[in-house]
A and B are shown apart, each in its own frame.
Chain A
Amino acid sequence: QVQLQESGPGLVKPSETLSLTCTVSGGSISPHYWSWIRQPAGKGLEWIGRIHASGTTKFNSSLESRVTMSVDTSKNQFSLKLHSVTAADTAVYFCAKVFGAGYLYFDYWGQGTLVTVSS
């Protein structure tokens, strides 16, 4: 059973960089695709992007200019960086496993971590 766990600071200052890591257990990060999804309080889900274990990425066009993702197969982890954050980036951030290439839906999810952007 694959399990995912997000970690990172819960508070980030405006204009700074939000950094989160997702640790995968119960299975290998290779050769799968992985995603980040966020959810502002009381609102719906927004896909941020996905990364393959090889490092190839694709981002939501609305966030693409501010997002970077990376993967560390030796640690079975993948990471998200969101630059130049504002209060609008305050949300619960989920990491999730993509079912497969060409099937970009999510069969395993982390529990989510709340990130607040505030000075």
Chain B
Amino acid sequence: EIVMTQSPATLSVSPGERATLSCRASQHINSNLAWYQQRPGRAPRLLIYGASTRATGIPARFSGSESGTEFTLTITSLQSEDFAVYYCQQYNNWVTFGGGTKVEI
């Protein structure tokens, strides 16, 4: 099983600032990585797939990148609605999710 490790567990930022979230895969996953946003009481929402492609309707302030087995989600100029939990998910070998990063004020 591919293990996905997200860091930090909690990220404290202010509105308007940049947030950088990390996700590491236990083995190479060929860019087969997605990011989701989950607000309290809501279902996850697909943000990024293919490590760096924004899903339909996702604002340009969300971007994804990769370097080997390290993946990054960057949110520039945080808006109030961006405070949520973010999950990465690999789909190179079936499915595993990371433990999540909570972005809080």
Contact = CB atoms under 8 A, between A and B. Distances in A.
B84 to A, nearest CB: 14
Contacts, number: 48
Interface residues of B, number: 20
A79 B90 CA distance: 24
Contacts of A103: 49, 91
Interface of A is mostly: strand
Contact of A99 (B49, B94, B100): B49
B13 interface: no
Contacts of A104: 91, 94-95
A34 interface: no
B58 to A, nearest CB: 11
B43 interface: yes
Interface of B: 1, 34, 36, 42-46, 49, 55, 87, 89, 91, 94-100
